[in-house]
Chain A
Amino acid sequence: MQELLKYAVKQAEKKGASQAEAFYSAENRLRTTIEKKQVKISEKKYDAGVGIRVAVKKTGGYSIGFAYLTSLTKEAAAKTVQQALKIASFKKPDKDFKSFQECKPSKTVQRIFDKTIAKLEPETIVDLANDLIKTASTDKRITTIIGGISSRTAKVAIANSLGVSGEFNTSGYSLSAYAVAQEANSTGVGWDEYSNCYYNEKEAYTIFKNATRNALKQLHPKAIKTEKMDLLIQPQALTEILAFTLVPEMLANNVQKQQSPFVGKLNQTIAATSLSVTDNAHVPQALGSKPFDDEGCPTQATKIIYKGILKNFLHNSYTAKKDKLKSTGNSTRSLGVLGSLKPKYSVEPVIGPTNFQVSAGTKSARNSYDDVVSEVKNGVITKGVVGAHTANAPSGEFSVALDMAFKIENGEITYPIKQAMIGGNIQDFIKNITMFADDTTQVGFENASVIAPTILVKNVTVSG
C-alpha cells in the first residue's frame, strides 16, 4: 500500500501542492445477528480507500484540499489528487495551518491485533451465537433475545511529504445482548455489552447471562417521586453522557471555537479532587489504542483532569500549532461522537479521544462496589441512559432518561424503577462525584473507548 500512497504524495507535489499526505484504511467486518432467540443473518463486509490531503501555499497561508477514492489504482489516485487540488484552489488560505505532521520516531503498542479474529470464520460465530441463545433461554419468562457478535480487523497506512510513513493492524470484538422478560402483564428489559480488541468466548456467555438476569430483575417496576438523591452511574451510562458532553468539550478544536464550558479554565479546579481523567492510547486490548494517530503523530497518555484540576485539552497537529503546543496525537478520521458512519479514508482528520480513562484521583475515593452501594442512603443505580446524544455540548447541559435503573434504600438495591430522568450540566456533575467502585470496564464507542468504574454522584435531581 505504501507504494500507492507515496505515488499519490509525489503526484500531488508535482501538480503544485506544497505538502501532501495520503491515508489508507481498510476494514474487514464479520457479524452475526440474533433476533427473537434465533440466529438471523451473518454478514461479511470489506471496505477500503485512500484519502488524499494537499496543502497549497498562497499569500497569507495555505489552502487545504481533500478528496478520496475507493478504486485503488494509480490512475484513480492521480484524478483524486487533481480534485483535492481543485478544492484547495477555491479555498481561502488558512493562516493557522503551518504543516502536516512532521516525522517522529514511532511507538509500539501492545496487544491491539488479535490473530484469532483475522482467521475467524462465519461458522465459528454462528455456532457461538446458537449456544449463547440456548444458555440465555433457560428461563421461560424470557420471551426475546436480541444481540450480535461482531469482529473486525483494520489496517491503517499513511505517507506524507514530510517523511512520515507507517502502518499498523488492529482488531476489534464486540458483543451485545438484549433480553425481554414477561410475567403477569409486566415487561422487563435487560441488556449488557462488551468491547475489546481480543476475541473472548467466555465473556460472550457472561454478557448474555447478564442481559437475561437484568431483564428478569426489571420485572414489576415501581414509580419513584421526584427528588434530589444520590446517583450511582455504571460505566455504560457514564460513557453515553461523557461521549456527548465532556469528551467533545475537551477537544481543542471545540475549545478554540469557544464551544466548551472549559474555555480558559486550564490549571483550574473544575471537578471533585477525587476525579482524574486521562486519554491513554497505550492501554493493551483497548479499542482506542494505536501507535500513531490518523495524521501519523505518535500517540501518548494525556492527563486531562488530574485530581480535579484541568490539565490539558486533546490536540491534533493543527490545533496544537495554533496554541503553540505539541500535538497530543489525537487526530482522528472518524467524526467522533457526531455519529458519522463514514469510513475513515473518506473524512478529513479532526480530533477525537483514544481511550478516555476515568479513575479515582485519590486513594480514599476508591472503594469496593459493595461499599459504594452501601454508602447510598437514598438513591438510584443506573446501567444506561437514553437520549444522551441530545445533550448540548457547548454548554454541557444534558437531560436523559434512565435505563435499567434500580432504587437504592439504606445501602441496598431494592426495586426496579419504572421511569425516571436526570438532567443538569456536566460541570456540576463532575464536581459532585465522591466515590469510585472497583468494577472498571471498557465501553467502546466508534473506534475509541471510555474506561471507567461505577461512580457515585451526589445531589442529582431524579424526576419520576
Chain B
Amino acid sequence: MLLNTVEKAIKLAIDLGAEYADARAEQIYSTSIRLTNERFEQAISGLDQGIGIRALYGGAWGFSSTTSLEPKHVKTVVETAFKTAKATSKAVKEKVTLCEVKPVKDHVKIKVRQPLTQIGIDKKLKLLLHLSKIVRNCSPKIVSANLSYEDSTSQKATVTSEGTQIRTDTSRALAAVTAVAKSAGKITSCRERVGKLAGFELFEKAKTDEIFERAAKRAVGLLGAKPAPSGRYTVIANPNLAGVFAHEAVGHGCEADHVISGESILEGKLGKKVGTEIVTIFDDSTVEGGWGTQKYDDEGVPTKKRLLIEKGILKGFIHNKETAAKLDMQPNGGARAQNFSHRPVVRMSNTYIANGKYTFEEMLKDIDKGVYLKSTRGGQVDTAKGTFQFNAEEAYRIEKGKLTAPLLDVSLSGITLETLHNIDAVAKDLDWNLGSCGKSSQSVPVGTASPHIRIRNALVGGRA
C-alpha cells in the first residue's frame, strides 16, 4: 500500500519533467512516556504518517512533504516539490549531478521477538515505575528521578526514479534516566540510557536495572565534587566521551557535504596525516542492533562500514549520491532523514575509535597531573574552524598516576587536528553509547563508541 503510493508519486514527478526523484512514505506508531518522581508527565501514543518527495530539475533540488497519504494531497506534494525545484533552478550556478546506483528491490525487517505494538501501554508504564523505584531507593540523597521511554515501530517505503524500491520495517526502543541528587544545597545529576533496534525484549536482556541504578550512584558520588581547575592538562577521556569526540570533532568533518561546502577542516587532507598513528576511526551503518544502523540509506543506497581515519591517515568521507559524484568517489549510503517530512542529508551512523593496546591503568600510571573526564552531556563542534567543546558529567583529578578528587561539571574544548595529534594512548576497552545527532534541523539516532583515550595538553574549563 505504502509502496504503491510512493511509486505513483515518483511516476508523477518524472511525468512532470523531473530529472530524478526520490520519495519516502512512512507510517510510524510511537509511544512516548515521561515519568518524574513516579508521576507520569507524559504518556503519549500516536500515529504519524505522510510522504516526502525530492525532485531534481535543471540541476536544482526541490523538496516537499505532508502529513497525509490521501491521493489528492500526495499529488499536491509532488507538484510542489517539482515547482520548488524549478524555482530554485533559476538561481543554481553549479548544477547537481548524482552518481548512478544499481537499483535495489528489497524488504528489510528488524528481527523482533516482542513487537512493540503488541505490548500494551500498561506494561511500558509499569517498566518505568519499576525502574524509577530502583533509582529512588538507591539513596536518600536522590531527590528526583526523571525517566523517559520512547519506542517506535515504522513501515517505510523508499522509491527512486532509478528503479529502487525498498520496504523497511523497523522497531526501536529506548529508556533513559536523569538521577538528581542533593545534599547541603548542592545539586548534581547523571544520565544513563538503554536503547537498541529491537522489540520490548530489549529490557529483559539489557541489564536495565543495573544501568539505571548506576545513574543514581554516580549522581550521589558527585555530591562531594569540587570545582574543576582551568587550564591545559593531560586528560583521559572515557569511552562515552571519546566516542562523542569521534562523532563531533572528526565525524562531522568527514561528512562530505561539509567538505564540499568549505565547512570542514579535513578538506584537502585525504591521504594525509591528521593524527597520531594509533588513531583509527570508522563510521559503520552495519553494526548489528546499532542505534544508527540501517541497511539502506534514505536515497536507497546500500550502506557500509566506512573507514574514516586509518592509523592517523585520513582515508574517506561519508557520502550521499551527490557528494560522491562531486568528489568522484564511491557512494557509501550516508544520506539520512529524520523521517518522511525531511530531506535526506549526509549523516553519520555508528561512529567509533578502534581499540588500541593499553589498559586504563597503564594509561593512568604515568600521568603526574591530569583530569579524567567521564560521560558527557553532549557536545558541539564548528567543523569549519575545527574546534569542539563538550562537557563531562563526571570528572576526577589525576595526581601521580592515581584518580583522586571528584570534580564538578568540567568541559573539554580544543582544536580537532591538534587534539588528534595529541592522542598518545588508546586503550583496548571499546564500549558503545547511543545518542541523537542534530544537523540541518533534523535529529537522527546515532551510535558512538571508543576505548579510553589519553590526550596531552588539552584545554579543560572549570571554575576554580
Q: Whose C-beta in chain B lies nearest to the C-beta of A63?
A: B40
Asked if B161 CB lies within 8 Å of chain A CBs, one says no
Asked if A453 CB lies within 8 Å of chain B CBs, one says no
Are B67 and A390 touching (Cβ within 8 A)?
Answer: no
Checking B94, B385, B391, B459 against A187 with a beta-carbon cut-off of 8 angstroms, the contacting residue is B385
**In the bound complex, how far is the Cα of B461 from the Cα of A244, in angstroms?**
18
Residues of A contacting B44 with CB < 8 Å? 66-68, 87, 346-348
Checking B42, B65, B408, B442 against A341 with a beta-carbon cut-off of 8 angstroms, the contacting residue is B442
Are A419 and B415 touching (Cβ within 8 A)?
Answer: yes
Closest CB in chain B relative to A360 CB, distance in Å: 27
Asked if B231 CB lies within 8 Å of chain A CBs, one says yes
Q: A257-B36, A389-B380, A463-B231 are in contact. Are A400 and B389 (CB under 8 A)?
A: yes
Are B61 and A146 touching (Cβ within 8 A)?
Answer: no
Q: A39-B60, A90-B122, A90-B125 are in contact. Are A180 and B262 (CB under 8 A)?
A: yes
Q: Which stretch in A2-10, A40-48, A433-441 binds the other chain? A: A40-48
Q: Whose C-beta in chain B lies nearest to the C-beta of A69?
A: B47
**In the bound complex, how far is the Cα of B60 from the Cα of A64, in angstroms?**
48
Closest CB in chain B relative to A334 CB, distance in Å: 13
Asked if A65 CB lies within 8 Å of chain B CBs, one says yes
Q: Which stretch in B110-118, B165-173, B352-360, B371-379 binds the other chain? A: B371-379
Checking A70, A87, A391, A463 against B68 with a beta-carbon cut-off of 8 angstroms, the contacting residue is A70
Q: A94-B39, A386-B389 are in contact. Are A423 and B60 (CB under 8 A)?
A: no
Asked if B144 CB lies within 8 Å of chain A CBs, one says yes
Main secondary structure of the interface of B (DSSP, over half): strand
Are B230 and A463 touching (Cβ within 8 A)?
Answer: yes
Residues of A contacting B462 with CB < 8 Å? 399, 423
Asked if B350 CB lies within 8 Å of chain A CBs, one says no
Q: Which stretch in A30-38, A103-111, A195-203 binds the other chain? A: A30-38
Residues of B contacting A83 with CB < 8 Å? 45
Checking A41, A45, A395, A419 against B341 with a beta-carbon cut-off of 8 angstroms, the contacting residue is A45
Q: Which of B86-129 contact A (CB under 8 A)?
A: 87-88, 90-94, 120-122, 125
**In the bound complex, how far is the Cα of B229 from the Cα of A226, in angstroms?**
11
Q: Which of B321-341 contact A (CB under 8 A)?
A: 338, 341
Residues of B contacting A42 with CB < 8 Å? 61-63, 84-85, 87-88
Are B189 and A395 touching (Cβ within 8 A)?
Answer: yes
Closest CB in chain B relative to A238 CB, distance in Å: 17
Q: Which stretch in B16-24, B179-187, B397-405 binds the other chain? A: B179-187
**Which of A48, A86, A423, A461 has the most chain B CB within a 10 Å cutoff?**
A423
**In the bound complex, how far is the Cα of B257 from the Cα of A35, in angstroms?**
9
Asked if B252 CB lies within 8 Å of chain A CBs, one says no
Asked if B66 CB lies within 8 Å of chain A CBs, one says yes
B contact residues, range: 35 or more
Q: Which of A233-267 contact B (CB under 8 A)?
A: 253, 257-259, 261
Checking A341, A343, A399 against B409 with a beta-carbon cut-off of 8 angstroms, the contacting residue is A399
Residues of B contacting A400 with CB < 8 Å? 389, 411
Residues of B contacting A257 with CB < 8 Å? 36-37, 144, 146
Closest CB in chain A relative to B117 CB, distance in Å: 12
**In the bound complex, how far is the Cα of B93 from the Cα of A40, in angstroms?**
10
Q: Mark A164-196, 1 if CB is under 8 A from B, else 0.
A: 000000000000000010000001010000000
Are B49 and A180 touching (Cβ within 8 A)?
Answer: no
**Which of B61, B94, B125, B409 has the most chain A CB within a 10 Å cutoff?**
B409
Listed A/B pairs (18) with beta-carbon separation below 8 Å: A32-B88, A38-B93, A39-B60, A42-B87, A44-B63, A47-B67, A64-B40, A66-B43, A83-B45, A84-B45, A123-B87, A144-B261, A226-B231, A259-B180, A390-B376, A394-B187, A399-B461, A461-B463
A residues contacting B by CB (< 8 A) are: 32-33, 35-36, 38-49, 64-71, 83-84, 86-87, 90-92, 94, 121-123, 126-127, 129-130, 143-144, 146, 180, 187, 189, 226, 253, 257-259, 261, 339, 341, 343, 346-348, 350, 386-387, 389-392, 394-395, 397-401, 403, 419, 421-425, 461, 463
